[in-house]
Amino acid sequence: VAPLPTPRPIPSPESSMPRVNPAVGNLEGKQAGEVRTFTDLGVKFCWCPAGSFVMGSPASEVGRSNLEDQVNVTLSRGFWLGQTEVTQGLWRNVMGTTPWSGQKLGMEGAEYPATYVSWEDATEFCRKLTTREQEAGRLPSAWSYRLPTEAEWEYSCRAGLTTPYSVNGAGLLSEYAWYDKNASEVGQKYAHPVGSVL
């Protein structure tokens, strides 16, 4: 599943602050969780302010990987992160392809996530979306769509918490996410529509 790209300022040699296109206004968010739409495609983004957190998990956490040692991370700039995965409808609109078609575990529909997409494909999606939005005057030249870093992804998913899940308990996970127990183990071994709940 391709994570939704993130509009974020690209640092320039002459300034550490992004240039702002007066036609589109200031793209910085004001508070954590603020939601905005930047494109004419209806894609919603959530603001993640700059901040620090402990990335990884403690050795005592059940089910952790040996590759999850804890490290202190500081994100010096805020960023926008897509509220959901990229939908098939959005992918088709930007890329004109349907890599999920005919796949054994694929479901098709505009609100299903774009699946069977490589990192290279996702990066090209970001490049094309950036070009499209800059040419339309909706995205300043100092900003671009890109995939979030691993640190940005974990920082946003944690939502300020230090628990294994941002819902503060594995018992509540099925109310917020599709995973083996409420999907594949009950005969639904496929990606569900983005933003859907039980």
To 5 degrees, how large is the angle CA 144–CA 147–CA 151?
A: 115
pLDDT of 11: 32
Q: Distance between CA 15 and CA 37 in Å, rounded?
A: 26
For position 168, what pLDDT does the model report?
A: 61
Q: With a cut of 70, list the residues of the chain below it in pLDDT.
A: 1-25, 168-171, 197-198
**pLDDT value, residue 170:** 57
Tokens found for residue 79: 């960023």
Q: Report the Cα 119 to chain-centroid distance in Å.
A: 14
Query: What is the widest separation between alpha-carbon atoms in the chain?
Result: 55
Beta strand spans in the chain (E)? 8-9, 35-37, 44-48, 51-55, 71-75, 79-82, 143-144
What's the confidence (pLDDT) of residue 198? 60
pTM, rounded to two decimals:
0.80
pLDDT at site 76: 93
Return the H-helix or E-strand segment holding 90. Answer: helix 88-95
**Rounded distance between C-alpha atoms, residue 90 and residue 126, angstroms:** 12
Residue 41 pLDDT: 87
Contacts for 22 with CB less than 8 Å, ≥ 6 apart:
none
Distance CA 128, CA 120 (A): 12
**Per-residue model confidence (pLDDT) at position 176:** 79
Alpha helices per DSSP H over the chain: 88-95, 119-135, 150-158
pLDDT at residue 10, as a whole number: 34
| End-to-end alpha carbon distance in the chain | 20
